[in-house]
Amino acid sequence: MAQTGTVTLHCIKCHLELARKETLMLASIPPSHCHLAVRQDKEHVAFTKLIQVENPKGGKSAQYCPYIVYCQECDSHVGNITILSSKKLICYKIENVYICHAGKEIKAKRLKNITKRLEEECGIEVVNMSPEGEASSRSPRSSEALIYCDTSGLTHTSRENDS
């Protein structure tokens, strides 16, 4: 895991630095959704480079993404304020931004193509955004032991219970 050098997020259109590694996270929503987002306690830092505008689409789009965020420098649409697991997060549109790390630009059309690289090379933390307890009840973690029971000999009729 090489994590040397500064990790920064930039607008793809004007190259303005929008965020640094300390501000970013990979918000994971089980089973497979992932978003490049601003940490919940760092929104004030992000808004120094962003403009927030109410989503003009309305309907379901506005229900899940009530605001759109634009680059302060060039007005390019760089993300949305999205409601994930009952929390409002600033989520970046990966096709409109890029990451700089160790002098290299990391660009992608889909976040899933670079998620592992952002986590391992850049050190951007993956944060599980599922509601408390929900993730563990749906699928056990690989480090948890599984207990299997053979229930094949436990069949009975209702008359057996009555007597």
Structure confidence by residue, pLDDT tens digits, 21-39: 999 999 998 777 899 999 9
Among residues of the chain, what percentage have pLDDT more than 90?
61
Which residue has 């920064």 as its token pair?
8
Domain of 126, CATH number, reads 2.170.150.30
pTM of the model: 0.75
> Residues 17, 45: contact at Cβ < 8 Å?
no
* pLDDT for position 156: 53
* pLDDT for position 31: 72
> Residues 36, 118: contact at Cβ < 8 Å?
yes
Residue 146 has pLDDT above 60, yes or no: no
pLDDT-derived band at 11, boundaries 50, 70, 90:
very high
Does 125 or 148 have the greater pLDDT score? 125
Whether 111 maps to a domain, the answer reads: yes
Whether 18 maps to a domain, the answer reads: yes
Owning domain of residue 18: 7-162
Cis amide linkage into residue 31, ω under 30° from 0: yes
Q: Looking at the 3D structure of the chain, how many domains does it have?
A: 1
Whether 84 maps to a domain, the answer reads: yes
Q: What tokens appear for 7 in the block?
A: 């990790």
Structure confidence by residue, pLDDT tens digits, 53-72: 999 887 878 888 999 999 99
Whether 1 maps to a domain, the answer reads: no
* pLDDT for position 157: 53
Structure confidence by residue, pLDDT tens digits, 80-99: 999 887 889 999 999 999 99
Does 39 or 146 have the greater pLDDT score? 39
